[in-house]
């Protein structure tokens, strides 16, 4: 069965990509060291230039690296039309929805960043200062005004179970906002050590502090 999230290996020096194997797969002789994991749901075939929504109805992509801990490093995307894009990263809450806001990135891209969809011109946007995370992560994508002049991303026609549009009614089922396209946007993360858990009460007191019970003195009788 194909994994929902495709993992790609990236070399910082070479910038080359290759498919990641299963855990425990031997590293090929002479291959570059793994420095990043690239997560994506698109099929690699940009086909449409859909209009994006405003922040209230932003597009949402759920990423789950399936790692003990990780740190988001950067975004890669195919820009179909220049303009201002807003990216927002959220924690995954207990209800399975986007939770607390982690960071936002709003930037204007000119025509020089645009791609024809076939030229391989990806925009790489760093995410500085991100903390080490565990579990899933949500990425929101939006524009200031949803009109024909706003920025656009290329999208593939394959439908993903992890791509939605935010509903203005919080109580509406998330699945009702599923989108029929998948944006050509990837999240790159680095594996990290999980945060240390605080010691439990049972392990806080050292063994030396557990003094033995006093022995009764002999009366000599």
Q: What is the DSSP string of 151-219?
A: -EE-EES---TTEEE--SSTTS-GGGGB-SSEESEEEEEEE-PPPPPPPPHHHHS-GGGSPPPPPPPP-
Q: Is residue 147 part of a domain?
A: yes
The torsion of the CA quartet 48, 53, 58, 60, rounded to 10 degrees, works out to -10
Q: For 177, phi and psi rounded to 5 degrees?
A: -100, 20
Picking from 138, 157, 124, the residue whose alpha carbon sits closest to that of residue 43 is: 157
Q: Is residue 206 part of a domain?
A: no
The residues with which 18 forms a beta bridge, in sequence order, are: 9
Q: Is residue 47 part of a domain?
A: yes
Q: What angle do CA 124, 73, 9 make, to 5 degrees?
A: 80
Q: Is residue 140 part of a domain?
A: yes
Q: Is residue 94 part of a domain?
A: yes
Structure tokens at 124: 């790489």
Range of the domain at 83: 6-195
Tens of each residue's pLDDT in the chain, 221 residues: 233 344 443 333 223 233 332 223 333 444 445 589 999 999 999 999 999 999 999 999 999 999 999 999 999 999 999 999 999 999 999 988 999 999 999 999 999 999 999 999 999 999 999 999 999 999 999 999 999 999 999 999 999 999 999 987 777 777 779 999 999 999 999 999 987 766 655 555 555 554 555 555 555 54
Question: Who contacts 96 (Cβ-Cβ below 8 Å, separation ≥6)?
Answer: 174
Burial class (CB in 10 A: 0-12, 13-18, 19+), 74: middle
Q: Is residue 219 part of a domain?
A: no
Q: Is residue 31 part of a domain?
A: yes
Tell me what pLDDT residue 167 has: 85
Q: Give me the number of domains the chain comprises.
A: 1
Q: pTM of the entire structure?
A: 0.75
Q: Is residue 215 part of a domain?
A: no
The rounded Cα 139 to chain-centroid distance in angstroms is 7
CA distance 43 to 35: 23
Residues 183 and 61: beta-carbon distance below 8 Å: yes
CA distance 115 to 155: 12
CATH number at residue 168: 2.60.120
């Amino acid at each position: 069965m194909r994994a929902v999230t495709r993992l790609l290996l990236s070399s910082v020096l070479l910038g080359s990509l290759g498919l990641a194997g299963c855990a425990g797969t031997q590293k090929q002789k002479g291959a570059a060291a793994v420095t990043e994991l690239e997560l994506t749901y698109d099929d690699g075939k940009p086909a449409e230039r859909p209009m994006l929504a405003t922040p209230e109805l932003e597009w949402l992509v759920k990423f789950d690296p399936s790692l003990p801990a990780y740190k988001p490093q950067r975004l890669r995307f195919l820009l179909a039309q220049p303009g201002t894009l807003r990216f927002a990263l959220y924690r995954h809450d207990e209800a399975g929805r986007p939770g607390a806001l982690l960071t936002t990135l709003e930037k204007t891209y000119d025509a020089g960043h645009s791609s024809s969809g076939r030229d391989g011109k990806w925009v790489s946007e760093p995410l500085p200062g991100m903390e080490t995370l565990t579990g899933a992560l949500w990425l929101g994508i939006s524009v200031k005004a949803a009109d024909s002049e706003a920025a656009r991303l290329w999208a593939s026609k394959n439908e993903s179970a992890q791509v939605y549009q935010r509903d203005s009614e919080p109580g509406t089922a998330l699945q009702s906002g599923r989108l029929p396209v998948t944006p050509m946007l990837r999240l790159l993360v680095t594996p990290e050590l999980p945060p240390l858990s605080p010691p439990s009460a049972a392990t806080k007191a050292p063994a030396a502090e557990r003094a033995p019970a006093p022995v009764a003195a002999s009366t000599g009788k």
